[in-house]
Structure formats: C-alpha cells, structure tokens
Structure 1
Amino acid sequence: MNAPATDLALLRSDTFRKERQDEWERLEELLTRMEKGRLRRLSDEDVLAMPALYRTAASSLAVARETSLDAATIAYLEALVQRAWFQVYGPRIGLWRWLRDFLGGGWPARLRQMWLDIYIAFAVMFAGTLIGWLLCAGDDNWFYRLVPAGMAGGRGPDASPQLLSESLFGGGEETEGLSLFATSLFSNNAGVSILAFALGFAFGIPTLLLLLYNTALLGAMLWLFFRADLGWDFVAWLSVHGTTELTAIMLAGAAGLHIGRTMAFPGNRAIMAAAKSAGVRAAVVMVGVVIMMSLAAVLEGYVRQLVTDTATRFVIGGSIGALWLAYFVGAGRGLAAKPGRAEDTP
C-alpha cells in the first residue's frame, strides 16, 4: 500500500523540479560566476534578473517544505537560497575596505560611545597602581605577594641598585632578567585583556578586580625602582611599549565593563537585548585591542631592546602615547554624527 504513495511523491517531486529547473540552474550559474569574482562579466540583464531568480528560488523552497517534497530537493534549494541571499542582500565590502573604515574612524567612534567605561577603567587602574605602591611601602613582603617570582626575574626588595640599573641599561644576564619580566608581563597583560572583556558579562565585577590586581603588580615594580632612585628610568623603559600595552588593557577592561554595566542597567530594554547591543560595540573595540597588543609585542621585542637612553625612551613612549590619544579623540568624528544602526546606539 505504501508503494503507490511513494511513487506518487516521487512523481510530484520530479514534476516540481522539472517545472523550475531552468530558473534554478540559471541562478546557480550566476552565483558561481559572482563567487569567482566575475561580477563585471555579468550583463545588465543578468544583474536585473538576480533578485527575481532569488525570490523564485525562495518561493520554491517554501513550497517544497510545505508539501514535504524529497529531502534532496529541499537541501538543494536551501543551499541555493542561502548563496543567493549573500549575493543579493549580503555586505558589499571587502577586507581591505573594512580595515580602512575600521582604522579610519569606526574603532575610535565606538570607543567614544564607551567614554564612561573608559574613565572607570582608568580610575580603577590608577587606584590599583597606587594600592600596590602603598602596600609595598608599608611592608616589603607585599612585593613577593603581588609580583610572581618568575615575572620579577630575581628583582626584589633585596636587589642592589646596581643590579636594578644594569637590568635597565645593559649588563648581560641582568638585561636578560628584565627582558624576562617584560615578556612575562606582556603574556600576563594579554591574558588579562581577554579575561577583562570575557568576564564583563558578570556585571563587570571580575573585570574590575582583574584591573585592580594587574595594576597593583605594576605599582609594586614602580615602588621597587623608585626606592632605588631609578624610578624615572624604569618608567621610560616601560613607556616604549607600555603606553600601547596598558592602554589596550584599559580599553579591554572598558569593553567588559560596558557589557556588564549595560546588563546591570538595561533601561527600558530586556537584559539580553541590552547585552547584545553592548556586545556588538565591545567586540569592535576588542578587534582594536588585538591590534594594539600586537604592536606592543613588536615595540617590546625590538624597539625597547635597541634604545637604552632614558630620554630617548621617554620621547618614543610619550610620542606613541600622544599619537594614540590624538587618534582616539579625533579620528572618526564624522562617523559619530551619522545615524547608525539600532545596536550601535548608546
């Protein structure tokens, strides 16, 4: 009894396919040519026919699903309609144009929408640095609690000023020791950046704690070198890559705080809708953070190693910091005045 029903279904599916096969094949041919970058070879007639062919294929898919045609036909139409949608309605922007728009103002514009979170992250990082300094100034043992032994590389309250100086300006194993500290600090900061953003969904509380602890570590190192009258030399040494690296951490923390703050105070929106909106904006910022951390790695690995003069280090670090500030404040001002998508609205 099932055989006639099966034969009827196959016949119906075969008839359905034959009636529309030519249009499907033409659409598939046009899609293949467009996907291979041959858009310029399409005639005006082909370009105008694309939307109609797409709608026909989408209508065929709806009918095929409604009438429960064979799975092969439905799967073919699903793939065809999906490909056609990306060509008809998908974004018309390549990687290089996207990168140009991103660096040309899209990234700074998103950052300025998060100004409050950036101020909070900066304040927490400043407080963490001050706390680390004061704890070590009150008790030397706090240095060992804040700075892991592997990261300090033997630099601690018991180290002589000569050893600390050699680690900044040269001295064989001493230079290598502080290079180990810089490498460990970069790895630590990269991890902190990722976690500060990822944990923002917990209403930003873990993000604040991470920023606080990470800069307490920095405060401990500043205390150590200033106590040996080498503080400004250490600041100059750190500024070469630190202006980029620490700014990236601050922005990553701000991105995490932005998500957490939006979830805690969603306003008239549902929490998940608010989180989605903030997440889109924060994700754009994190792309820039990745770029900054990559640049910091290059500065730490090459420029800082080649320049040993304190004044020159200050000039390099200060110039880089000023460039970042000017870029974030000034770039993309025109974009901020343009109406954006709903999810980009603060």
Structure 2
Amino acid sequence: MALNLFRKKVAEAAADIEAASLRSDQFRLEREGDWQRLETIVEALEKGRLGRIADDDLLELPVLYRKAASSLSVARETSLDAATLAYLESLVRRAWFQVYGPRSSLFAWARRFLGGGWSASVREIWLDICIALFAMISGTVVGYLLVASDRGWYYSLVSGGMAGGRQPGASREELAETLASTENADGLGMFAAYLFSNNSAVCIMAFALGFCFGIPTLLLLVYNMALLGAMLWLFADAGLTWEFAAWLSVHGTTELGAILLSGAAGMHIGRSMAFPGRRSVLSAAAASGRRAAQVMAGCVLMLVVAGLLEGYARQLLPGAGPRAIVGGLFLAGWVFYFLLMPRPRDHGTEDAP
C-alpha cells in the first residue's frame, strides 16, 4: 500500500515537472522571436553600429523592451526554468541601458560640462546670484560695523579655533606674522584648514537649506560673511587691510565664489517653490533642482581648486603683490568663464520660475 502511494506521488511529481517544462517551452517559443530581435538591436547599439539598424527596428526598440520586461515579470511569477529567467534578466538589463541609460561617456559629459554647460546653468540663475551677492556683501558690512562699535562682537562672531592669535589687542607685528609665508607657519596652515572646512560646510548647507524657500540660506550667508567682516575690521584697524585682502584673495576669489554659487543654487530652488508660477510646486522644484545640481557640481570643483591654492600657492607666494596678482587672475578667469563661455548646442533650458 505504501509502495503504491509512493509510486503515485513520484508519477505526479514527474507529470508536474513535464507540464512545467512544456509551459516553459511554449512560453519561450511564443515570445522568442521578439527576444531575439531585441537582442540583435541591443548588440548593434552596444558595438556602436547604429547605421546597421533598420529604422523600423529603432522605432520598435521601446516596444520590444517593454515586451521583454513583461515576459521577465511573468517568468518570475510562474517560476519558469532558470535558464529562461537568467536570459531575460540579462536581456532586459542590457536593453534598459540602451533605452534609458546615459547617451555619452564620462569624458564626453565632462567635456560638455566644462565646455559651457556649467557656465550656462550659472547664467540661468543670475537673479539668485544677485540676491546671494547682496546678502554676502551685507553680511560683511554688518560684521565690520558690529565689531567697530563693540569689540565684544568679535568673540561672538569668530570662534576661538579660527581666531588663534588674531584678536583685538594684538600688535601690528603679531597680526602681520599670521599672514607671513614661511615654512613653519603652523598657525597659518591650521587657519587655512579651518577656512576650507568651514566654507565647504557652508556651501553644502547653503544649497541644502534652499528647500526651505531660501530664507535659511540667506541667513547663513549673512552670518558667514559677518565673520569675514569681523576679521577685516581687525586687520584694517592694525593698518593691514591690503595685506589681509591680498592674503585672502589667493584662495578667496575661488572659495567665496563657490559659496556665492552654492547659496544662489539653494535660493533658486527655494524661489521656484515659493513662486512656481503656472507650474505645480513639485514640477517647479524639479526643473530648478536639475539646474541647481549642475551649478553645485561645479562648486565642488571650485572648492578643490581653492583647497590646492590654500595648501600650496598661498604658502609659496611671499608678499602682498604676488598674492593679489594670483587672486586677481583667478577672479578674472572665473568671471570670463561664467560670462563669456558659449552655451553648448544641446544645452536644454527650462523656463525660469
């Protein structure tokens, strides 16, 4: 009795396996023509042989991809054989890359980005740049006037780690020593590292806070530049305005430019959300977000350049004159690039919010 039951179960299992195999074969035979056609098109695209693909095949590519994706979904749900499932997964993955993947290599993207894409995105947010620049200038003036009226404000605006020996009451010689270009300027190196770390964090926060309608971004720019205004008052009070400006310009024209663009990018998103016009808030934020993200990608590059200038160029340049020349050249270079670099032919633009 038990043996007969066992034989019956084995027979049923074999029948199920045979039925599943028949279903898998039938499933594949019904759709294999479309799969092979899609695979042929994908292989030609992967090898860069676009000219060998018929127009009808190119037009059918999205349809064939969706059919293959649907077949993959069915194969997973019905637990078809592993070979069919693996084949479909590979085919759908390759086809997705050709239908939705990037159309250019990383090198081509970088060439297009630096060859005018970045500058075009910067020009498109010119109004936000003007607003951010006004906030930064206002913050510098406010910081300068606050410390000029009460030296106690200096300690509120400038942290102890950044101040070091640069504080009210220090002699002119002591302050000039902090700007000196010497191999053993440990304090200057620490100050430069603090500045770079601080300004990098400011760039990230200025951009991120733009989603709160741009108001926190403006406040952050004002506060950060008030710190610079306090430092400017300190050196101006000691008669070292030119020396401090030249020392700061070596990296400052690049680093402060990155802060300006980061704040403007954040403001651009916040302004588009506050005033979306005829578009929905989400669509306005998406359009401005793509533009702002391109600007921020360039700001990362500017911060890297500023870090190299802080770590090397400023230490190797003695005297205010050479430092001012380098800072002025970088400022002129950035202005020239952002204002005069032609727009790429394929640079898409959205209506400004």
TM (norm. structure 2) is 0.85
Q: CA deviation at 1:315?
A: 1.0
1:220 pairs, out of 213, 230, 237, with: 230
Secondary structure, in 3 states, of the residue corresponding to 2:279? coil
Counterpart for residue 58 of structure 1: 66
How far, CA to CA, are the matches of 1:128 and 1:80 in structure 2?
57
| Residue type at the aligned position of 1:340 | G
Residues 64, 85 of structure 1: alpha-carbon distance in 2 compared, 3 angstrom cutoff: closer
- With 180-189 and 286-295 compared, the bigger mean Cα shift is at 180-189
Secondary structure, in 3 states, of the residue corresponding to 2:226? helix
1:272 pairs, out of 282, 295, 302, with: 282
User: 1:164, 1:225 within 8 Å by CA — same for their partners in 2?
Assistant: yes
| Residue type at the aligned position of 1:307 | L
Q: CA deviation at 1:340?
A: 2.4
- With 278-287 and 59-68 compared, the bigger mean Cα shift is at 59-68
**2:103 pairs with 1:86:** no
User: 1:153, 1:178 within 8 Å by CA — same for their partners in 2?
Assistant: no
1:235 pairs, out of 216, 233, 245, with: 245
Counterpart for residue 205 of structure 1: 215
**2:351 pairs with 1:345:** yes
How far, CA to CA, are the matches of 1:170 and 1:100 in structure 2?
36
Secondary structure, in 3 states, of the residue corresponding to 1:169? coil
Residues 78, 46 of structure 1: alpha-carbon distance in 2 compared, 3 angstrom cutoff: farther
2:167 pairs, out of 156, 166, 184, with: 156
Counterpart for residue 180 of structure 1: 190
Secondary structure, in 3 states, of the residue corresponding to 2:318? coil
How far, CA to CA, are the matches of 2:183 and 2:85 in structure 1?
70
User: 1:153, 1:180 within 8 Å by CA — same for their partners in 2?
Assistant: no
In percent, how many aligned pairs have the same letter? Answer: 52
How far, CA to CA, are the matches of 1:62 and 1:297 in structure 2?
51
Counterpart for residue 70 of structure 1: 79
- With 263-272 and 147-156 compared, the bigger mean Cα shift is at 147-156
Q: Deviations over 1:64-92 (max 9, x none)?
A: 65795436656753552242132255433
Counterpart for residue 201 of structure 2: 191
**2:337 pairs with 1:327:** yes
Residues 322, 54 of structure 1: alpha-carbon distance in 2 compared, 3 angstrom cutoff: closer
User: 1:236, 1:313 within 8 Å by CA — same for their partners in 2?
Assistant: yes
User: 1:27, 1:50 within 8 Å by CA — same for their partners in 2?
Assistant: no
**2:300 pairs with 1:294:** no
User: 2:140, 2:226 within 8 Å by CA — same for their partners in 1?
Assistant: yes
Structure 1 residue ranges without an equivalent (≥5): none
| Residue type at the aligned position of 2:169 | D
User: 2:199, 2:259 within 8 Å by CA — same for their partners in 1?
Assistant: yes
Q: CA deviation at 1:219?
A: 0.5
Q: Deviations over 1:54-73 (max 9, x none)?
A: 64453244356579543665
Q: CA deviation at 1:52?
A: 5.0
User: 1:152, 1:178 within 8 Å by CA — same for their partners in 2?
Assistant: no
Residues 204, 76 of structure 1: alpha-carbon distance in 2 compared, 3 angstrom cutoff: farther
Counterpart for residue 13 of structure 1: 24
User: 2:44, 2:53 within 8 Å by CA — same for their partners in 1?
Assistant: no
Larger radius of gyration: 2
- With 292-301 and 15-24 compared, the bigger mean Cα shift is at 15-24
How far, CA to CA, are the matches of 2:32 and 2:20 in structure 1?
18
How far, CA to CA, are the matches of 1:54 and 1:267 in structure 2?
34
How far, CA to CA, are the matches of 1:162 and 1:182 in structure 2?
20
Residues 340, 46 of structure 1: alpha-carbon distance in 2 compared, 3 angstrom cutoff: closer
User: 1:24, 1:53 within 8 Å by CA — same for their partners in 2?
Assistant: no
Q: Deviations over 1:309-335 (max 9, x none)?
A: 111111111111011111111012465
**2:105 pairs with 1:99:** no
Structure 2 residue ranges without an equivalent (≥5): 1-11
Q: Over the residues paired in the alignment, what is the CA RMSD in angstroms?
A: 3.0
User: 1:236, 1:310 within 8 Å by CA — same for their partners in 2?
Assistant: yes
User: 2:68, 2:92 within 8 Å by CA — same for their partners in 1?
Assistant: no
User: 1:255, 1:282 within 8 Å by CA — same for their partners in 2?
Assistant: yes
User: 1:65, 1:74 within 8 Å by CA — same for their partners in 2?
Assistant: no
TM (norm. structure 1) is 0.86
| Residue type at the aligned position of 1:198 | A
